[in-house]
Each structure stands twice: as C-alpha cells, then as structure tokens.
Amino acid sequence: MSDEDLFEQARTVNLEYKAAVAEVQLQILDGDWRILGYGDAPSACGDGSYQFDLTRGTPEGWRIDGTPAEAAHRIGAWLDENGWTDIKTRTYTGDVPNVAIQAAKPDAHVQRITIDFSPGELFDSATVYADSTCEPGDAQTLSELTLPGTAGDRPELQKLPPAEHPAAPPIFGYNEDGTARYWPDESE
C-alpha cells in the first residue's frame, strides 16, 4: 500500500470511528466533552497493523439523569437499537457505585467502546473510552504521515482543544504549518 493510500485509509477509519463514538456521546450529553485522549495518534496493535483510541469525559457540573444503572440501561437500549453488538453491562465490587457498559460496532471501525457512569457528591461523570478496529498498515509510518516535515524539522504543532462538541469537525493530522487539519477539509 502506498503512503497516500495508507493515509486515506486511516483517515476514513478514523473519521468513521469518531462519528460512531460521537453518536453515543450525544445520547449522554449534547454539549462540550473534555478531551482526555484525542484519538488521532495511531498505535501498533499487531505486526504491521495500527489502531486509534480516544477518551472523552463530561464536564464538571454534569449530572446523570437518574442512577448510573438507569443511565447504562438507557444507553444499552440505544446501542442495541442502533446496530451495536456485544453489549455488556458491568458493576464494580465493594462500595464502588459506578456502572460501565461496553459494546462494539466493527462496521464503523469501533472494536470496543466503554462508557463508565460515576456518581459524585458535587457532580457526576461519564467517561467514554473507545478503541478502533485493528487495521493493516504500519503505525509508525502512519504517524509520520500525519505530521508535517520530518522528525528533526517540524513546526510547532497546534495544541488540541481541551474540550469539543461531538458534532465538531474532527482533527486528523496537521497541515504543513503545524495547524490542526480538520475534516472535511474545505479544500476537498
């Protein structure tokens, strides 16, 4: 596969994966989510393969509508109605009141999504962790393709946003000047 084909394949995988995760986020909060892991840096997931992972969290002050178990049940029903598979709900042992739900949607390149609902005294939280499917292609080569210049001669890269609405245009890679590259790209 050429470098251009690898980049285009990875961009498509990344955008479909982020879109599927964003739909889930919107079922929990239609607002800005804290970015704890953006999800555009490839990592190796086997010999000659890569995947992405992202983490999002609700903002301070957010409250669960009902109990964590009720929220997990609602999200589980929505996931089931919207083509997600392998849906499992977990509770923790002891006095931990969190409830987590996991699911997969391989046709949207989501190997696993985990949503952890945690009640709190001052505010509650929901944290979304998601791994993309493992795709053929070298993670290191792909990483270089998403960054401008060469390892020793890169411009300063624009910082990723601290929070983002799930419907915001996603970032994948950087332009030659080090600014984040949003998709769909206006030049397309």
pTM recorded for the entire structure: 0.92
Mean of pLDDT over the chain: 92
pLDDT digits (tens, 9 = 90+) for 136-182: 999 999 999 999 877 778 888 889 899 999 999 999 999 999 999 98
CA trace torsion 132, 133, 134, 135 (10° rounding): -100
For the record, the structure tokens of 162 come out as 């601290």
pLDDT digits (tens, 9 = 90+) for 88-135: 998 877 777 789 999 999 999 999 999 999 988 889 999 999 999 999
Which residues, at least 6 apart from 47, have a Cβ–Cβ distance to it below 8 Å? none
